[in-house]
Structure 1
Amino acid sequence: MDLEGETFHHPYSPYETQLQFMRALYTCLEEGKVAVFESPTGTGKSLSLICGSLTWLRDHKRRALQEAVDKTGGDDDDPDWMVEFAKRESSRAATEKIREFEKRLAKTRQAEERLRRGQESSQRPQKRQKVESESVDDTLQNESQFALDDYESDREERSGPLAEPEQFEGLSADTLALLERFKGKASAVTEAEDSDDQDVKIFYCSRTHSQLTQFAHELQRVTMSSSLPKDLIADALGEDTELAERIKHLSLGSRKNLCINPKVLALENPTAINERCLDLQKPGQSADKKCPYLPSKDTDAKILEFRDHTLASIKDIEDIGKVGKQLGICPYYASRSVIKNTEIVTLPYPLLLQRSAREALHLSLKNHIVIIDEAHNLMDAISNIYSAKVTLVQLQTAISQLTTYARKYQSRLKGKNRTYVAQVIRMVSSIAVYLKSIQEKKNPQEGTLQASDLMSGKGVDQINPYKLSQYLQESKLARKVDGYIEFSKQEPGHGSKERSHTPVLFHIQSFLLTLMNPSVEGRLFYHQLQGDVQLEYMLLDPTNHFREIVESARAVILAGGTMSPMSDYLNHLFSYVPKSRIDTFSYGHVIPSENLTAQSLVRGIQGSEFDFTFEARSSEKMIIDLGRTISALCEAIPDGVVAFFPSYDYLDHVMSVWKKPSTSEPGQSILSMLQKKKPVLYEPRGGTMKTEELLQEYSNAIETGSGALLLSVVGGKLSEGINFSDRLGRGVLMVGLPFPNIRSAVWQAKIQYVETRAYEQASGPEDARKQASKTAGREFYENACMRAVNQCIGRAIRHLNDYAVIVMIDKRYNSTRIQAKLPAWIRQSLVPGTPDRRTQAVVQDLSRFFAKRGAS
């Protein structure tokens, strides 16, 4: 197929890099590939993803429909007129079905537009549901509702599912895997469901709802041709007839984003909202206590109307919520019925990456397309979703709450309930005692530990962890205890009626289930905090948790502005995928190459060698030279300059040195010298100033003509998602390399895990396997650092006419190995450097660069 610009229905005239991107994407989807795409921000990546994927989808549907029509021709011995008649009837039916649906959506959209035009003057207030006038606490009638139901099951496996999928929401995939031991293969919805008869869909995922909202706005710009073959339309409607077919889009969100029940939404905490929502659906709940917005057999007409409004135009998550409110139907649950009619579904990371969330939403990815945008932190995101933390203070609070509950309901705790509640208290107490001992013995600030260390309390070794985890799920103990504690606070004589921000028992339950998880891919760590100890289960290897997505989907696309270095995705996320199925693509910027210059700076203006390794970076002489060097660079770079430092601690140390009075120039300091060149602002630790306020102050200083120097931190709020375009970022300075703390227990465990895997997978002599192991560990460590670097230095160039300089200040940036991990579009603008090249030469280059662009 000839994939030219017009083929992709791009709303503008695409650049050559965009065309290359869309062609490659189309081919990957057609061939069912797993691919990583790197395209700098400002190159129209979102539109390229939309146009490339939707063009393929419509082509695929068109071919599938044509094949279906061709198969309706009858047997080989049927007369030609009968074969042609059957094909025409099939064409007519397919065309009519799409046309009628489009007419229905068009009518709905017209109604929406009329409503929007008359909203300010003539819209009548919506009829309030009875539930809106009820208090948030109306469901809390008496304490008897918090008593545990009789629990007699003592089997490790059951013939049916443990619970509805919604009740698993919030649990990690590791935990779900453990619960599968009891569930067998039963599940309300599984990835193995046969979805071959469903139309292929695109599941587009990004990190935040704001990014998905931006994507929806881009989607509004695109108009695609019909999925019906032209011949079919001509046969059914006439030669000159066109059939417009709008893009069918659905934005999915969590209950927190989509709940419209005011008394549930008032709880604010996502876990509390989930639990209250499920409470209102419990069997046996009286009609007046159930959620009035929940879809039912009596609301089919509303659900159909919800579908039509959702698909009539491109809507973001807020729009979906408004549709639910207007119709009086829960958008969280009503959205599920819309999925089958959509072409592209957008959803945030957790809803796609967590198996429990996919099950709750009834999502099957089998044979569909998965596109994950802003995927540079995908591996970390997966690990975070499947990790769990709990503190000593939380454990102690949980013991208190469980004990209070057990005393209150002592007479009602019978049979297995009495046994298991006692076991939960013993287990939580055992963990708390161990953490307390770490605190009292003045152990190192952090370290690793074994699950057996936590289970050393009296009688804990007699607890069957699998039965206990089954009990925690089935009995809803955490929900009952938390409900009772909140209820008791509302009785006369008890203090504040405010709900605690985090229901502690839910945290504890999640952690306990993770603790009982036999996964070898995770480790347990402790971290001593001020007056507390944190216990953390961390997933070290995301491979298996993403594998079910890769193996279910037809194609998986990871895309981002800075995906380099890409080797981690191949080695640690797709190691099991055949090489023939994997592709990687890195595209240049849309700017002319002369609009960017990147330089490595090895020596300062006073001759110091810039070595910001952990051992050498405290040198005051080098830090003073750094200040003078940045001052010289600021003189050459107009407007805004953003400098990134490896950590808050190091920025604080640098600032303390820069504030000291100079010995050679009394009354002067490095900071005051910098401020003479440009006002200096810096990103404070702990968020004492809001990011918006800091950026506004920075922008105002640049608008006055004085320019500004903004000191930022890698991994801080300014290192991702902030666009320093045009005058806001004429220069980006990268001070040092932000390597993670290799001495930390977490990073030692990560590297050890990577090295062990590499050793096991290597072949050949022992020495070769050891070398492969060490190389894998070093690569993993360097890649983590360089991904952070690439995110920061990618902040500068944001559109076609933008221009900027990038200066990387550290002798290690002169290494070919480090330079190879930079994005291709930055490497091609990298000025060759030498170990002896000093600041003066770099400053001269930068001055010439800006002089050519008329900047001063």
Structure 2
Amino acid sequence: MPLLNISGVQVSFPFEPYACQVTYMEKVMESLQKNVNGILESPTGTGKTLCLLCSTLAWLESRKAQTELNRQVSIASIMGEQSIQQDVEKLSKSLQSSTGLTWGGSEFAVPKIIYASRTHSQLNQAVQELKRTAYNSVKVSVIGSREQLCIQEQVRKEPNNSNKVHMCRAKVSARTCHMYNRLEDIKKNSDARSLIGNVIDIEDMVTYGEKQRVCPYYLARELKNDADIIFMPYNYLLDPKSRKAHGVELQGNIVIFDEAHNLEKICEDSSSFDLTSTDLATAIEELAKLSEKIYELTKHEDQSLVEMTDSSTMPEPEFTLEDLLRLKATLKDLENKIDEIPVPSNGKGVTKPGMFIFELLRNVSIGFDTKNFLIELLDKIINYVSQDALTGFSTKGAGLTKVCDILKIIFCRDLSDGGSMQLHMAELAKSYKVHIQKTEPKKFQKITSWATNSSTSDKTGKTLSYWCFSPGHSMVDLMAHGIKCIILTSGTLSPLSSFTLEMQIPFPVTLENPHVIEKHQVWIGTVNKGPDGVTLNSNFETRYTPTYQSSLGNSIVNFARIVPNGLLIFFPSYPVMDKCIEFWKENNIFNRISQYKPVFVEPRGKMDFQDAMFEFYNKINDPSLNGAIFVAVCRGKVSEGLDFADENGRAVVITGLPYPPYMDPRVVLKMQYLDEVKRRPNVKHLTGKEWYRQQASRAVNQAIGRVIRHRQDFGAILLCDTRFSSPDSISQLPIWVRPNVQKCQNFGQALKEITVFFKTAEQKMPASKPKKKIGIKTSPGAYFLPTTSRSAGPTNIAKAGRVSDHVASLKHIKDNSNNYSKLSIQYEGGSKASSSTQEIKRGLLGALTDSECKSPANDSQGSPFRLPPDKMVYKKQARKKITIKKRGETDSKSSAADILDDVPATVKSNHLQTAESYISEVKKVLYGDRYKMFSKALVDYKKIGDFQQLTPVLVGVFTEDSELYPFFREFYRFVRPKDKCEYDKLCKSITGTGCGYRPEDSILRKRLQTDNSLKADDITCPSKYPSGYTCECCQKNAERPFEAGCGHICCFPCWRTAFDTDKVCPVCKQPVRRRHLTAKYFAGPELE
């Protein structure tokens, strides 16, 4: 790998970097060396994650070397070895200049890198990125929730995360979780890191935990102790209670927020809450039920009642009945106090300053002096009701959990010694507003089936909201814990000035990086008028008028006609999108659009959305179509996290500015709060209107980022709202598009320029690949794909010639141990165990299973784990059949089974070796989600046999780079015989070289092997003797009868026809396979 000198630090990079990548790494180094905060924007497709990891870890290595030298200097000075001391001090000064003078030359502490992103999937992608660098020997820890990591069956079944947390804690405390106990036993004899390896992600830990029956959740926490870099979601870092629960140390460490464009909202949400009357009523009901249970247990202590209530298995409560009654009275008082707050009937609610929350709680004796006792008591109660023995409470405690959480938010920071309580509360509350609003009865329903009817269920409830309006509240809190520096990075942070003001901490290092693409690869322009001359303006006054909706629809018709391949259309909100589509359908505009491209509309549901995306990509891949259109909303699922590289998205249409709902109480109060802060003396801050405009611009920028995904990509950005033409709107766009914005005064000009752009781009850019080549892709970011494979070792060299989009499967593939049986099935051929009479089903999928069962710790050595005995799938020994031959028949008519038996064992062994070698090599070049797509495709191909569904996946993962063509061609040997001819043609059309297809390759050898008895009967069984069975399909004498699992008996020709077509029983249409058939022997007269 190339070694780069970045600000005095040697950085190993996978390939020769672009200029913008060097600039980015220089800014990262500046932030680390000067020990200051940095905010860095680099467009999607410029490899910011790779640059961030390489530069940060290179600096960390230098820091480690410096601290070790500092120790040597100290030792040399003590020993009085002057010559050695001088050499070591000289080297130490050199290292000190590279790591930064602000860290001090005499410090011995090495900081940890805390890498935070929005979702676990984004973190997994960052870990996969790290595995492909020269720094894949650093010690990694990934902090996840029990939702992702817990493998204890009872805990997994809990309906919500809160229940999982408390049940897990209860089991660990009671020593009833065997996975946790096993981890504790292992830790006594070995180091946790040695068990699993250095660079691991969540999937690695879950796989290891399931195989070794060790708790992945607590294993991850153990790995955190010696980790060089810790990956975790935002909320674990920003939420004080989550930070404490996961043991996250901030003192002296470095914090990186990737995809930081979401940071503002997450900071505010993590410090806010909404407490409804439902929550309080539920908590009171829970205390009432628990009080009754505790009272019964303490009142009756005779043996019969003990046996009836099974109290011998119940945990001993750490609280008293008096504690429960007092807490219940306190919550009841709080409920009454909230009910007494007058709220106007106009539906707008009432707003109070932040200090109101402390006054309200003080009226019910809750304050800084009692909060610790209350929080500890609530934790004890929640843990108690989570015990297995209390079946009536095992999934409850939701109301008490909510009360506990809000107390932790309100009293998040303790008073310092000697400080004023009043000033302390004022400081905490200055970023907050309290809002009380009525809740309609239909929204106010009991969430627990066992709770009794409360008087509040028939009346209007209230929602008490404690909203934080300053993301800087969380950032200042982080800095107060002694963090060395914070780096924020994303592809869409513009405008940086307003973003930094919101964070309320200084950012001396800033960067707005240009893109790696050339000017001819992107066209961006404002389309102010439709083809009928109507001004396109999606403001509140015009967005629902027929004139606007018609003009916008006719514009889309023209765009669908001239834009090749995929077209994305973003609306400001769901209501606007729904109304427009409804109007288009009623006025035949939708049909006119569909004449050019099929249209998909973003659904609300998760599963429906995945199905829609799957169909969209299928239409894009269809060579008979001119692409497809996906209609979505800004801030929705499509605008962030999905990848529309190359043909998947050649243009994006933004139909309006997606401002937040203007009358929403939280939006109104946010703007009021910002205006109040702006009026304070000597304060630099956004005004409410500036923040409001910024929210729309940032959502637009995020949508724009869906199209240009890598250096070889190109596309058009159409801003179809006259408001985009204003200088203020243009200044809010990313820096890489601002200079190129075209202002089209009429629709004809826009149409002409877009047409010319695509003609020019198609001439200058590499020729489009065949449509079959496009796989199913999603990605929250971009990455750089090496053109050669590399192992996990740090010494191998990898090179890359271009930027490639980082894709992840739309389908969430779970790592389920029950899938062993699905993966241990071969397509054709097999191998016999040398030491057993039973034959293991092996082949490509068997090799795939073995490959996936490798220990992460030993993966570099290639030592596979063997499948556990209970997971192995064995072939039943074939039943011997009597073959009746005609008199005088010679052995020349040998059966198919005899032919197969003549195949040498070495041939079968070589086939197995080839399959294992193939899978082993594939794992080296496919990573994470791509390997899972490959694995899932094999399973589906075996299960369904749909060749048309298999090929797009293979094309997508193996033909992005010509270096992977051999893997594409090599797969030919594992394709089903009936599909080999078509696969050979496909391979030749894409790679230019076929697979050496021969007609005899289409002979189904597996059928000959597995159905040898059927073939023998087919050749030699005389037909003059009736079998005694009638085929239930053709109603003729079944000369060779076979019975399926459904109980129906058909002749072999009918079964063969069924297997060659739809693979269902000809009678009842239930799915059936050859292995499900049982031969029926003669039921008629005995043979002579």
Question: What is the count of residue pairs matched by the alignment?
Answer: 689
Question: Matches of 1:309 and 1:485 in 2, distance apart?
Answer: 31
SS in 2 for 1:690: helix
Residues 538-563 of structure 1: per-residue CA shift (max 9 Å, x gap): 21112132223235222211111111
Which of 48, 58, 66 pairs up with 1:63? Answer: 66
SS in 2 for 1:365: coil
Question: Matches of 2:249 and 2:379 in 1, distance apart?
Answer: 30
Q: How does 1:335-414 map to 2 (within 5 A)?
A: 335-410=220-295
- The answer to whether the 8 Å contact 1:446/1:528 transfers is no
Residues 439-475 of structure 1: per-residue CA shift (max 9 Å, x gap): xx85416654578999999x99353444553343122
Determine if the alignment matches structure 1 residue 202 to structure 2 residue 149.
no
Q: Which moved more, 1:406-415 or 1:539-548?
A: 406-415
Which of 840, 847, 850 pairs up with 2:748? Answer: 840
Question: Matches of 1:484 and 1:428 in 2, distance apart?
Answer: 25
Aligned to 2:472: 543
Which of 390, 398, 408 pairs up with 1:503? Answer: 398
Question: Matches of 1:706 and 1:475 in 2, distance apart?
Answer: 64
- The answer to whether the 8 Å contact 2:620/2:627 transfers is yes
Which of 218, 234, 254 pairs up with 2:145? Answer: 254
Which of 457, 465, 476 pairs up with 2:378? Answer: 476
Question: Matches of 2:45 and 2:110 in 1, distance apart?
Answer: 33
1:489–1:586 distance in 2 versus 1, CA, 3 Å: same
Question: Matches of 2:184 and 2:389 in 1, distance apart?
Answer: 33
- The answer to whether the 8 Å contact 1:434/1:454 transfers is no
Q: How does 1:113-128 map to 2 (within 5 A)?
A: none
Determine if the alignment matches structure 1 residue 563 to structure 2 residue 483.
no
Question: Matches of 1:739 and 1:643 in 2, distance apart?
Answer: 17
- CA drift at 1:246: 2.2
- The answer to whether the 8 Å contact 1:38/1:560 transfers is yes
1:709–1:322 distance in 2 versus 1, CA, 3 Å: closer
Residues 411-454 of structure 1: per-residue CA shift (max 9 Å, x gap): 765555533332223323544x469x86xx85416654578999
- The answer to whether the 8 Å contact 1:295/1:303 transfers is no
- The answer to whether the 8 Å contact 1:482/1:505 transfers is no
Which of 701, 720, 733 pairs up with 1:790? Answer: 701
Question: Matches of 2:486 and 2:359 in 1, distance apart?
Answer: 45
Question: Matches of 2:592 and 2:515 in 1, distance apart?
Answer: 36
Question: Matches of 1:296 and 1:309 in 2, distance apart?
Answer: 10
1:28–1:485 distance in 2 versus 1, CA, 3 Å: closer
- CA drift at 1:217: 0.7
Structure 1 residue ranges without an equivalent (≥5): 92-194, 225-244, 491-496, 662-668, 764-771
Question: Matches of 2:189 and 2:77 in 1, distance apart?
Answer: 41
Q: How does 1:619-698 map to 2 (within 5 A)?
A: 619-661=545-587, 669-684=588-603, 686-687=604-605, 690-698=608-616
- CA drift at 1:12: 1.9
Question: Matches of 1:693 and 1:471 in 2, distance apart?
Answer: 50
SS in 1 for 2:385: helix
SS in 1 for 2:736: helix
Q: How does 1:208-227 map to 2 (within 5 A)?
A: 208-224=119-135
Residues 755-785 of structure 1: per-residue CA shift (max 9 Å, x gap): 111111348xxxxxxxx88x62222111111
Determine if the alignment matches structure 1 residue 315 to structure 2 residue 200.
yes
Structure 2 residue ranges without an equivalent (≥5): 93-105, 299-319, 413-424, 445-461, 769-1088
1:336–1:481 distance in 2 versus 1, CA, 3 Å: closer
- CA drift at 1:221: 0.9
Aligned to 1:733: 653
- The answer to whether the 8 Å contact 2:183/2:215 transfers is no
- CA drift at 1:254: 2.3
Aligned to 2:794: none
- The answer to whether the 8 Å contact 2:118/2:262 transfers is no
Question: Matches of 2:497 and 2:519 in 1, distance apart?
Answer: 26
Aligned to 1:521: 431
- The answer to whether the 8 Å contact 1:813/1:819 transfers is yes
- CA drift at 1:606: 0.9
- The answer to whether the 8 Å contact 1:73/1:87 transfers is no
Aligned to 1:330: 215
Question: Matches of 2:7 and 2:54 in 1, distance apart?
Answer: 12
Which of 324, 328, 335 pairs up with 1:421? Answer: 328
Question: Matches of 2:184 and 2:45 in 1, distance apart?
Answer: 48
Q: How does 1:62-141 map to 2 (within 5 A)?
A: 62-74=65-77, 78=80, 80=82
Partner amino acid, structure 2, of 1:808: L
1:853–1:429 distance in 2 versus 1, CA, 3 Å: same
Question: Matches of 1:779 and 1:450 in 2, distance apart?
Answer: 23
- CA drift at 1:739: 0.7
Residues 606-632 of structure 1: per-residue CA shift (max 9 Å, x gap): 111122122232221011111111111
Question: Matches of 1:620 and 1:711 in 2, distance apart?
Answer: 19
1:442–1:299 distance in 2 versus 1, CA, 3 Å: same
The CA RMSD measured in Å over matched residues stands at: 3.5
Question: Matches of 2:347 and 2:194 in 1, distance apart?
Answer: 60
Determine if the alignment matches structure 1 residue 300 to structure 2 residue 176.
no
Q: How does 1:550-629 map to 2 (within 5 A)?
A: 550-551=479-480, 552-573=482-503, 575-577=504-506, 582-629=508-555
- CA drift at 1:336: 3.8
Which of 637, 641, 646 pairs up with 1:717? Answer: 637
Determine if the alignment matches structure 1 residue 753 to structure 2 residue 673.
yes
Question: Matches of 1:736 and 1:426 in 2, distance apart?
Answer: 48
- The answer to whether the 8 Å contact 2:118/2:259 transfers is yes
Question: Matches of 2:55 and 2:171 in 1, distance apart?
Answer: 43
Question: Matches of 1:452 and 1:548 in 2, distance apart?
Answer: 19
Aligned to 1:699: 617
SS in 2 for 1:693: helix
Question: Matches of 1:710 and 1:678 in 2, distance apart?
Answer: 10
Identity of counterpart residues, as a percentage? 27
- The answer to whether the 8 Å contact 1:369/1:555 transfers is yes
- CA drift at 1:406: 3.2
TM-score by length of 1: 0.74
- The answer to whether the 8 Å contact 1:587/1:825 transfers is yes
Question: Matches of 1:652 and 1:292 in 2, distance apart?
Answer: 50
- The answer to whether the 8 Å contact 2:30/2:509 transfers is no
- The answer to whether the 8 Å contact 1:739/1:785 transfers is yes
1:455–1:594 distance in 2 versus 1, CA, 3 Å: closer
Question: Matches of 1:508 and 1:815 in 2, distance apart?
Answer: 48
Question: Which structure ranks higher in relative contact order (CA pairs < 8 Å, sequence separation ≥ 6)?
Answer: 1
